[in-house]
Every structure is written in C-alpha cells, then in structure tokens.
Amino acid sequence: SQKIEQNSEALNIQEGKTATLTCNYTNYSPAYLQWYRQDPGRGPVFLLLIRENEKEKRKERLKVTFDTTLKQSLFHITASQPADSATYLCALDKARGQNFVFGPGTRLSVLP
Amino acid sequence: DTGVSQNPRHKITKRGQNVTFRCDPISEHNRLYWYRQTLGQGPEFLTYFQNEAQLEKSRLLSDRFSAERPKGSFSTLEIQRTEQGDSAMYLCASSAAKGSYEQYFGPGTRLTVT
C-alpha cells in the first residue's frame, strides 16, 4: 500500500543546532516533493520544492535532499531558532504535479 | 494580493444538518484544492479543480460531500447530513497550473459537529 512517513511525531533540539527531518515514502514515484511549515491553527506555508532529478535544494538556512532510490527526502534547518518551532509537512505529487499527498508531519521544538 | 480566504472560520452544527464552506483563491490561480485535517495528521486530499473542472475526487470521500467551482473562481464545499466524524479543519489551497506547484493555503474552516 502507499504510505508516507515522517521520522518522528515530535523532535526537540537546542537552539543553534541543525534540525534534520525525514520523509520516507512507499509505492509512490513522485516527480516533485515539497516541504511546508504549519503553525497551530493556521494553514500550511510552502517552503521548498525539489524535483526528482535534483539531489539538493537550498534556501537561506533550509536545505532539502531527495533520494529517489532510497525513497527519502531530508529537510535540514541550520542554526535553528525558537521561531523555527512548528510542524513540518512533506508532500509529494501523485500525478505529475497535479495532486499532492501529505505526510503526517513532524512537530519541531527548538529550545532556547 | 489578499491571499486565499475561507469562510466561515468556525462552524458548529448539529449532526444531520448540512453545511457549506466557501473558498476564494488567489485571483490568477486556476487550480484549487480542498483538504481535510484532523489533529496530529497532515492534510488529507478531498478534491481539486482546474478552472471550473473538477479533475479528481478522493475515493475516501463519501457522496455526502460535494464541491463546486462554477465560474472557475471561488469554490464551495458542501457536507450533507453531517456526522460527528466530519469534525475537522477544512483547508482550501490554490496554485498556478504551471510553475513550482506550490500551494497557497487559506486559514481553514474548523467544523465541529455536535
């Protein structure tokens, strides 16, 4: 069956450290994989998209990798700050960018 | 740019009643998506439109749910004969048909069925 898993339900790290979140999928062949941030009571906010032929994408303190052989994406936040505390969702497309399915999310807490 | 708006923000209804939610996407976006989200879970796809055409509907969606986008602009999601299991946050998102496929989400409508 098709499945998307994100490493853990919750992750606590110390301010200034690098947070690494994992997204693993089974029985999908996505052309695109996205990462979103969601704060309590609000809709998700787009962060980054990576294509199947890209290994890595960066944006400021964020870095995403995409390994289609391992069926895994890693999302890194370097020099983490308490303001980075939120739930992070990965989403992958089911049909060439037309329809995206979301993982359950990882709740990140950056402790001062 | 006012972003994606949804109304109402909160809805409390009794079991068995019908409810309708509205979504106004970003004006130049021709794709519109509806999702449902429960606590601790990611958004669950319900349906999506390209312009006024409904291109896909989740197989998990019962026939009590219907969505429309009559003129390719705003969209409505109706739930008939609501059940307690329908209690959730209903999210709308829009995106451009071509480009990065990033979705812009609205604030959601929180439905509570008593």
**Beta-carbon contacts of residue A109 (< 8 Å; ≥ 6 apart):** A10, A11, A12, A13, A85
Q: Which residues of chain B are within 8 Å of residue A4 when distances are taken between CB atoms?
A: 42
Q: What is the pLDDT of residues A12-38, one digit of tens each?
A: 999 999 999 999 999 988 889 999 999
Looking at residue A97, its pLDDT comes to: 63
Q: How confident is the model at residue B45 (pLDDT cuts 50, 70, 90)?
A: very high
Q: How confident is the model at residue B1 (pLDDT cuts 50, 70, 90)?
A: low
B88: amino acid identity, one letter: A
Q: Which residues of chain B are within 8 Å of residue A44 when distances are taken between CB atoms?
A: 43, 91, 93, 103, 105
Query: Which residue in this structure is represented by tokens 């690494």?
Result: A20
SS3 A18: coil
Decide if pLDDT at B97 tops 80.
no
Query: Considering chain B, what percentage of its residues have pLDDT values greater than 70?
Result: 96
Q: How confident is the model at residue B85 (pLDDT cuts 50, 70, 90)?
A: very high
DSSP string, chain B: ----EEE-SEEEE-TT--EEEEEE--TT--EEEEEEE-TTS--EEEEEEETTEEEEE-TT--TTEEEE-TTSS-EEEEE-S--GGG-EEEEEEEE-SSSS---EE---EEEEE-
Smallest Cβ–Cβ distance between B101 and the set A9, A97, A104 belongs to A97
